[in-house]
Chains A and B, each alone.
Chain A
Amino acid sequence: MRFKDGHLLGLEYADKEDIELILKTATSFREVLERPIKKVPTLQGKTVVNLFFEPSTRTRISFELAEKRLSADSINFSSTNSSVKKGETLLDTARNIEAMKIDMVVIRHQSPGAANFLAGNLGANIINAGDGAHEHPTQALLDMMTILEKHESIEGLNVAIIGDISHSRVALSNIHGLLKMGANVTLCGPATMIPREIEKLGVDVCYHVDDVLGKVDVINILRIQLERQEGGLFPSLREYHNYFGITRARLDKLSKPITIMHPGPINRGVEISSDVADSEHSLILNQVTNGVAIRMAVLYLLAGGENINA
């Protein structure tokens, strides 16, 4: 992985050992989060800037919390406009911020490769918090950490990712991470939302959600975005719900319970019904908690931290 370069740009560039190290470190930090005093001095004196060029609530808060728990100084820069519209280039924005002597940059941007672009141009450690439809590595890491709460190992596990794969950075990071950890990955969604030649990554594709549910241990359900309807990718939310929505009725037909995950924010009644989201097999809120621990681990390791025994 690019830990040797000091960046986390995507799980495509990671190897199994890196992922295992992050997951193990995060487990230690998760323990910190259960303490009455949830703060450790690990990153004292380090400054992290959260550069968010896209609206984000949970990822931004999660990173910010992780930074504060580690005693880093953090600064937030949010702009819902793309930098180009503002008249300042991404590179200039980043260079300006770097001139203020920043150690790490967490970036979320609409353009695939934005994190790679910064990594090639700045001296700071770069953490990709989502670049277009490319990668969202900390999300996939927290998803894997959450899977391990219910399952002993990811190796050999059957995992399905359901929804709009074409526009999903969560899907791509999960695919890379899960395959490296030895899972079998199936993608399911409308054919208009499955990108071409994705099978070459080593995944299966299936368009029929009931067939998929019968075969898997874990499902990760992606948020469906209404604007894709206008783009002609599906006819209506109702039709999407009827053919791809995960409902209690669908799950009741299965011979065994399966683990339910969703990166959020969820559209209740669209890709997931409320009773499923709130069921005992749903780990959606555990994902959120684990998100902080994973981001603490990534920040810690990128800052040069060794294997930790907190």
Chain B
Amino acid sequence: MLKKSRVNKGTFEILPKKVLLKNIRVIDNAEKLNAVKSVVIRNDKIADILDKPPASFDGETWEDKNFVLMPGLFDMHVHFREPGREDEETLETGSFTAANGGFTGVACMPNTDPAIDTQEVVNFIREETRDYLVDVHPVSAITKAREGKELAPIAEMVEAGAVAISDDGSPVMNAELMRRALEYSKMFDIPILGHEEDTNLSKNRHMHEGFYSTKLGIQGIPALSEEIIVARDIMLTEFTGGRFHVCHISSKGSVELIRQAKAKGLKVTCEVTPHHFTLTDQVVESYDTNTKMNPPLRSDEDRQALIDGLKDGTIDAIATDHAPHSIEEKEAEYINAPFGITGLETALGLITSELLDTKILTLKDIYDRCVQNPRKILNLDVPKIKTGENANLTLFSQKENWTYNDSISFSKSRNTPFTNHPLTGRSVVVINKGKIFKTPPLK
């Protein structure tokens, strides 16, 4: 039974003048760092990276043999629901949720109300989040009101700080319009983040089409509905010379198409969510509406292909598609419930338990997928663990066996299938913009 529980109120504390991260594993591929070090932060900057900890230190100290330090993790796909659905999430609660999950930066999707389809809304988000620890980068709409009919004022929005364009939540079904969007966005070297779905194949459907949809009597969304549009958009990318990023890929066929596109040298990248590499359509047997998201959880063969794609680098980034929904909306019959689950606070735990502990990825790979690649795709500077650099850091425990429950969440929403799911890694602190957020200890 779902219950409404208290929303945690977070604080971004001012970073103490001096902080020592002592005898922790430091990972920064750009700096060729993968060793146990001690890092001193002074006045918001990385002051020293030492092989041996200082003999004495009179500031805040963090030390544990299981701690790993990376430049701040970045989630390139979140829904913060503001403006429009502040009952589900706000820029503020979303940012605390991100910080609690170990992220220092996010890109938020434009399916708000009104949509992020004007310079004003981009400005609103930039200004509202200016002082947050978490960097919140708006993604603006490809088309006005995300209706797939006319181009939104892309140049104006990019000028205001939009880092990419997307109609996420809806595909651009008109190939001519997608062609023009790819051509137009070339002028700013920004990527299009594509929600890939042929709605003729997916309309009025609620889960992956396969054995389980057949058994459950739920009309299924074929993997084909994603793959057809991925194939189309790869062809459009080749034709226009634009830059295309495929959001939340879910199927074996999509991985293969992107692998081929990359082999051809096209500017195509993609992301996968933790739920797609962890769960399969079998979990829908519970009829739990927290197993309902778009794209849907697919077969185990698809899940395996996603893992292979992560391993060989076909998949560039891990992104959560954090999609808060109210209890009222989710506490419904399966076919009447909206798509989407929260993800920011369980992502790191799933990355470590599903990918790191299983030796599918290494810590260096996680740096690529969660620190560097998402920022590079969005043309953002990648923070460095280097003397003199601003401290933008995630310190996490690699081996804290824990389970998620609602009481530790900072989100306004509660729609996750991962309650009581065993997790390993957990964020300890994140540091950015002269602020620190400490993930509260488990109750």
Contacts and interface: CB of A to CB of B under 8 A. Distances in A.
B213 interface: yes
Given A111-B333, A113-B334, 15 more contacts: A89-B332, A90-B332, A112-B217, A112-B287, A113-B287, A116-B287, A117-B287, A133-B219, A134-B216, A134-B217, A172-B217, A195-B213, A198-B211, A200-B211, A201-B214
Contact of B217 (A83, A89, A135, A197): A135
6 contacts: A84-B336, A111-B335, A113-B287, A135-B217, A197-B210, A197-B211
B177 interface: no
A204 to B, nearest CB: 15
B211 A132 contact: no
A121 interface: yes
A90 B215 CA distance: 23
Interface magnitude class on chain A: 20 to 34
A169 interface: yes
A131 B217 contact: yes
A90 B335 CA distance: 12
A133 B217 contact: yes
A91 interface: yes
A13 to B, nearest CB: 11
Contacts of A117: 287, 333-334
Interface of A: 12, 82-84, 89-91, 109-114, 116-117, 121, 131-135, 166, 169, 172, 195-198, 200-201
A122 to B, nearest CB: 11
Contacts of B218: 112-113, 132-134
Contact of A112 (B209, B216, B328, B332): B216
Complex A-B, nearest 9 residue pairs according to Cβ-Cβ distance, in ascending order: A134-B217, A113-B287, A111-B333, A133-B217, A195-B214, A197-B211, A112-B217, A111-B335, A112-B218
A114 B217 contact: no
Interface residues of B, number: 20
Interface in B195-223: 209-211, 213-220
B187 interface: no
B1 interface: yes
Contacts of B210: 196-197
A273 B218 CA distance: 31
Contacts of B335: 110-112, 132
Contact of A196 (B214, B216, B328, B332): B214
Contacts of A91: 331-332
Interface of B: 1, 209-211, 213-220, 287, 328, 331-336
A39 B219 CA distance: 42
Nearest to B214: A195
Contacts of A110: 333, 335
B214 A114 contact: no
B320 to A, nearest CB: 26
Contacts of B336: 82, 84, 111
Contacts of A195: 213-214, 220
Given A116-B287, A121-B1, A197 B333 contact: no
Nearest to A110: B335
A116 to B, nearest CB: 5
A201 B211 CA distance: 9
Nearest to B284: A113
A104 B293 CA distance: 33
A109 B332 CA distance: 12
Contacts of A197: 210-211, 214
Given A116-B287, A196-B209, A196-B220, A111 B214 contact: no
Nearest to A165: B214
B282 to A, nearest CB: 12
Q: Which of A110, A132, A166, A172 has the most CB of B within 10 A?
A: A132
Contacts of B219: 133, 166
A12 B1 CA distance: 24
A84 B213 CA distance: 23
Given A196-B209, A197-B210, A113 B215 contact: no
A191 to B, nearest CB: 14
Q: Which of A111, A114, A198 has the most CB of B within 10 A?
A: A111
Q: Which of B210, B216, B217, B332 has the most CB of A within 10 A?
A: B217
Nearest to B336: A84
Contact of A12 (B213, B215, B220, B333): B215
B302 to A, nearest CB: 14
A116 B211 CA distance: 19
A116 B331 CA distance: 13
A169 B1 contact: no
Contacts of A200: 211
A219 B204 CA distance: 31
Given A132-B217, A133-B219, A135-B217, A114 B333 contact: yes
Given A112-B287, A196-B209, A90 B217 contact: no
B331 A89 contact: yes
Q: Which of A83, A89, A197 has the most CB of B within 10 A?
A: A197
Contacts of A132: 217-218, 335
Contacts of B328: 89
Nearest to A175: B215
A159 B256 CA distance: 41
A82 to B, nearest CB: 7
Contacts of B331: 89, 91
B58 to A, nearest CB: 56
A298 B209 CA distance: 33
B226 to A, nearest CB: 16
A90 B333 CA distance: 7
Contacts of B334: 111-113, 117
B244 to A, nearest CB: 30
Nearest to A10: B217
A172 B217 CA distance: 8
Contacts of B1: 121
A102 B218 CA distance: 29
Contacts of B217: 112, 131-135, 169, 172
A172 B218 CA distance: 12
Contacts of B287: 112-113, 116-117
Contacts of A84: 332-333, 336
B216 A198 contact: no
A121 B333 CA distance: 12
A98 B336 CA distance: 22
A94 B216 CA distance: 22
A112 B289 CA distance: 12
